[in-house]
Amino acid sequence: MLLSIAIHGYRSLRDLVLPLQQLNVVTGGNGSGKSSLYRAIQLLGAVAQGRVARPAADMIK
C-alpha cells in the first residue's frame, strides 16, 4: 500500500504531498486539481506496470 504521494509540477499540481490511508476521498471545486491527481496516479501505475515508454517513466522518481 502506498503511504503517501508527492507530485511536483504535474499539470495543475505544483507541490503536493498527500498522506494516504486505506480509503481516500478526493473532493474539491472545479479546477482544483482532482483530475490531475487522478491522472498522476494513473501514470504512476502505468510506469510501475511497464506500460509507459522510457522518457515518460523518467518523470517518476
pLDDT tens, N- to C-terminus, the chain (61 residues)? 889 999 999 999 999 999 999 999 999 999 999 999 999 999 888 888 888 766 555 565 5
Q: Does residue 47 contact residue 56 with C-beta atoms inside 8 Å? A: yes
What distances in angstroms separate CA 9 from CA 2, 4, 25, 49, one per listed residue?
A: 20, 17, 22, 23
Domain count, the chain: 1
Question: Which residues constitute the domain of residue 35?
Answer: 4-57
The backbone region for 16, taken as left when phi is positive above 0, alpha when psi lies in -120 to 50, beta otherwise, is beta
Distance of CA 8 to the CA centre of its chain: 9
> What pTM was computed for the model?
0.77
